[in-house]
Amino acid sequence: MIAMKSVIKILCCQILALGLLTGCSRSFLDRPPLSQISAENFYKSTNDLRLATAALYGGSPWGDWNYTCYLPVGDVLSGNMAVGYWGDAVQLNTFSITGQNAIMVSNWKSMYNIIAQCNITINAIKDRAPDSIPLQARNAATAEARFIRGYAYFNLAIHWGAVPVIEDNGKLVTSPLVNRVKTEDVYKFAINDLTFAAEHLPAADAAGRLTTWSAQGMLAKVYLAFSGYNQQGSRNQALLDSAAKYAGNVCKKSGLALLPNYANLFKTQYNDNPESLFALQWAPGGGWLEGNMLQIYSTSPEISANGSAGWFGIGPTVDMIKLYSAKDSIRRKATFMLNGDYYPELNAAGGGFKYTGNCAIKKHIIGTNKDNNSPTMTQNSSTEHNALLRLADVYLVYAEALLGNHGTTTDADALLYFNKVRERAGLMPAPMLDADSIMIERRIELAAEGQYWTDLVRLSYYNPAKAIGKLNGEQRVTFTYSGGVITPASPYGVITPATIQSFTFPIPSSEITANPKLLEAPVPYF
């Protein structure tokens, strides 16, 4: 009977224990994330919003694009440079891009990744940010995200024209099969984003942050491209005027000026200088495709991070190098290395660097960890904040917008800003401007900054014959260089003559497989 009593006691304890467990079961199952901030607990202060938008300026959303597309699309496809031993890049060189081309697919994917991050940030600020955060701060943060989203849609419009427009990524879960949107509406979407940004970004902010001048400069560029869309011979004057208006604001009202020394633009000591309107904000450290990987083009372990040389031999084409006049040596030397060039700032501790190969890229090659005072910089994470929009670009946009549909111009403003760019390069001012002189100036000033292809595409909008002619007239091969003599190298592949098709990327095959509606005619968005 003693046993019996114990049994009853145990039973009672058990029932009690069960009751206790049941009683606290609600909190037992409340297990919030421990390692990361949940979106519900974020976006609660101005500082939270600043931390969220800061993530859109670089890092993994931009890493793949910066590595795979920035120069291959902007400069290899356009004929400024050529890169070998990489089948996908050879397709860019020879105008034989297929729906499987990895560079093209990366460009598509990266822009939509950036758009997704921007959309999430924009929607989270709208839905979650409390009223206790001043409206101005909420708008400014939204404006940063909308600038970057607008940039991405502009990039998509240039390369593909009609593409899907995604504003709410959550909706894709239930209805993933969307149509492409007409090219003009993609442009209008980008313009709307950038207009909002221009209205709500401050006139000045911490170095590297976007300002209204960034947005207005970008807006000018988008208007200028859009002004030629679906036009024959001449461009839409109203859109040209808008381009001139915004570019003019940046030139005259921003108080910004060009950096006096062109070569300094590409040194990390001058990251986020006043000329830089939108630059990717890379940090050292970080893994594969998370940082600025442009050191992959470095030719020597002496001049790159951690003593590891790059692996893609990219170099200027014969066509590009011949554009530089003898006097244009400041920009040439800051952009491309030729045999015998000496760079004291590269491997400074080792007495500088003398280039002994034929030809190679110089921009984005920033030297060793010591040169950049960055011990944690690696091969995958250059600390250069490469600018995607800078003041000189806007100056030239302004000149081109003022030239507009005229054959030539001697407009004082056009000449003033155009010649500021030339004077910094150590060249004589131009007395008069025409379409070709501006295009060549842009090509040289912005070489190896991923810009020339955009210029060719927007030319193809209203003057396809001229754009095709420019491509087919190019000598798209690198060269050997000795004693000042340029000898063209053998081509990486047989170059197919460019056609109007060459200005539009095919849609990635995998996307069409996943969504055959992409083959249908594009639909209006607005």
Partner 1 sequence: MLMLPAWLLIGVLFCASSFAQSITLTGTVVNKKTNAPVPGVAIVVKNSNRHAISDAAGKFTLETTAGNTLLVSMMGFEKQEVTVGKTNNITIQLVENVSQLDDVVVIGYGKTKRKDVTGAISSVSGDEIRKTQPTTFDQALQGKVPGLVVQQVSGQPGGAVSVQIRGLSSFGSSGPMYVIDGIIIGGTASLGEGTNPLAGINPSEIESIDVLKDASATAIYGSQATNGVIVITTKRGLVAPPAISYDMYTGYQQLPKRMPLMDLQEYATFINERNKALGWGFDTREDFANPKYLGKGTDWQKELFRNAPMTNHSLTVNGGDVRTQYLLSGSYFKQEGIALGSDFERVSVRLNLDNKTTDWLKIGTSLQLANIKESVNTTGNSVIHSALTQTPDIAIRNPDGSWGGNYNPDGWVNNNIVNPYAMALINKDDINRYQLFANLYADVAFYKDLSLRNEVTFSYSTAREDRFNPTYTFGLVKRTNNSGAFLYNQNLFKTIRNYFTYQHVFDKKYNVNAVVGHEAQLSTSEGASAARDNFPSNNVQVISSGDPTTATNTGIKGQNAQESYFGRINFGLNDKYLFTGNVRADGSSKFAADNRWVTTWSGAFAWKLNNEAFLRQVKQVNELKLRLGYGLTNNQNIRDFAYTSTLMTVATGLTGIAQLTVNVGNPYVQWEKTKYTNIGLDGTFFNWRLNFELNFYNRRTDGLVMQIPLPLYAGTAIGWAPGSLDAPYVNIGIVNNKGFDFRISSTNIQRKHFSWKTDFTVSRNINEVIKLNTDGASLSRPYTRTVVGRSIGEFYGYVIDGGVFATAKDFETHALPVKNGEPLPVGPAGGSIWYGDLKFKDLNGDGIINELDQTYLGSPIPKYQLGLNNTISYKNFDLNIFFSANIGNKVFNQLRITGEYPGTSSGYMRNLMNYAQLALIDSSGSATDIKNVYVKNPGTFIPGLRNDNTNDNNRVSNKYVEDGDFLRCKNISLGFSLPDKLLNVLHIHYLRLYVNVSNAFIISKYSGMDPEIGSWDPLNAGIDNGFYPQPRVYTIGANIKLTK
List the structure tokens of 254: 């921003």
How far apart are the C-alpha atoms of 164 and 181, rounded to whole Å?
5
CB of 483 to partner 1, least distance (A): 23
State phi, psi for 36 to the nearest 5 degrees.
-135, 160
- Selection from 376, 374, 379 nearest residue 364 by Cα: 379
CB of 450 to partner 1, least distance (A): 18
Nearer to partner 1, 64 or 411 (CB): 64
Q: Which of 127, 131, 206, 521 binds partner 1 (CB under 8 A)?
A: 206
Instruction: Answer for the pair 144, 53: CB distance below 8 angstroms, yes or no.
Output: yes
Site for partner 1 contains 94 (CB under 8 A): yes
Nearer to partner 1, 90 or 444 (CB): 90
Nearer to partner 1, 408 or 510 (CB): 510
Between residue 355 and residue 394, which ones bind partner 1 under the rule CB under 8 A? 375-376, 378-379, 383, 385
Beta bridge partners of 481: 486
List the structure tokens of 190: 């980008």
In the three-class reduction of DSSP (H, G, I as helix; E, B as strand; rest coil), residue 506 is classed as coil
Nearer to partner 1, 283 or 323 (CB): 283
Site for partner 1 contains 521 (CB under 8 A): no
Q: Which of 46, 102, 285, 466 binds partner 1 (CB under 8 A)?
A: 285
How far apart are the C-alpha atoms of 158 and 226, rounded to whole Å?
9
Beta bridge partners of 479: 488
CB of 523 to partner 1, least distance (A): 15
Q: What x/- string results for residues 210 through 239 when contact with partner 1 is judged by CB under 8 A?
A: ------------------------------
Q: Which of 103, 105, 198, 388 binds partner 1 (CB under 8 A)?
A: 105
Beta bridge partners of 482: 485
Residue 392 CB partners (closer than 8 Å, separation 6+) = 258, 275, 420, 421, 424, 445, 446
Nearer to partner 1, 212 or 292 (CB): 292
In the three-class reduction of DSSP (H, G, I as helix; E, B as strand; rest coil), residue 69 is classed as coil
DSSP secondary structure string for all residues of 327-388: TTHHHHHHHEEETT-EETTTTGGGT-EE--SSEEE-TT----TTTTT-TT-BTTBB----EE
Q: Which of 164, 310, 315, 404 binds partner 1 (CB under 8 A)?
A: 164
Nearer to partner 1, 192 or 306 (CB): 306
Site for partner 1 contains 102 (CB under 8 A): no
CB of 337 to partner 1, least distance (A): 19
Nearer to partner 1, 298 or 409 (CB): 298
Nearer to partner 1, 19 or 426 (CB): 19
Nearer to partner 1, 412 or 494 (CB): 494
How far apart are the C-alpha atoms of 466 and 457, rounded to whole Å?
11
Q: Which stretch binds partner 1 (CB under 8 A): 189-197, 393-401, 449-457, 489-497?
A: 489-497
Nearer to partner 1, 346 or 414 (CB): 346
CB of 440 to partner 1, least distance (A): 28
Site for partner 1 contains 20 (CB under 8 A): no
Between residue 245 and residue 274, which ones bind partner 1 under the rule CB under 8 A? 271
How far apart are the C-alpha atoms of 374 and 458, rounded to whole Å?
39
Site residue total, partner 1 (CB under 8 A)? 122
Site for partner 1 contains 488 (CB under 8 A): no
Q: Which of 23, 287, 344, 426 binds partner 1 (CB under 8 A)?
A: 287
Task: HSE, CB side, 13 Å, CA atoms: give it for residue 7.
Answer: 4
CB of 167 to partner 1, least distance (A): 12
How far apart are the C-alpha atoms of 261 and 94, rounded to whole Å?
36
Q: Which of 137, 345, 515, 525 binds partner 1 (CB under 8 A)?
A: 515
CA distances from 380 to 292, 435, 479 (A): 6, 39, 28
CB of 193 to partner 1, least distance (A): 16
Between residue 115 and residue 144, which ones bind partner 1 under the rule CB under 8 A? 115-117, 119-121, 124
Q: Which of 73, 90, 122, 366 binds partner 1 (CB under 8 A)?
A: 90
Residue 284 CB partners (closer than 8 Å, separation 6+) = 291, 374, 375, 376, 377, 378, 381, 383
Rounded-to-10 torsion of CA 62, 65, 70, 72 = 170
DSSP 8-state symbol, 323: T
Q: Which of 3, 326, 485, 521 binds partner 1 (CB under 8 A)?
A: 3
DSSP 8-state symbol, 181: B
Between residue 35 and residue 74, which ones bind partner 1 under the rule CB under 8 A? 35-40, 42, 48, 50-55, 57-64
Q: Which stretch binds partner 1 (CB under 8 A): 70-78, 175-183, 389-397, 416-424?
A: 175-183
Nearer to partner 1, 58 or 248 (CB): 58
Instruction: Answer for the pair 505, 105: CB distance below 8 angstroms, yes or no.
Output: no
State phi, psi for 381 to the nearest 5 degrees.
-145, 75
Q: Which of 174, 326, 349, 521 binds partner 1 (CB under 8 A)?
A: 174
Nearer to partner 1, 285 or 488 (CB): 285
How far apart are the C-alpha atoms of 254 and 146, rounded to whole Å?
21
Between residue 412 and residue 451, which ones bind partner 1 under the rule CB under 8 A? none
Residue 281: Cβ within 10 Å count:
19
Between residue 290 and residue 309, which ones bind partner 1 under the rule CB under 8 A? 290, 301, 306-308
Report the 3 state secondary structure along 247-273.
HHHHHHHCCCCCCCCHHHHHCHHHCCC
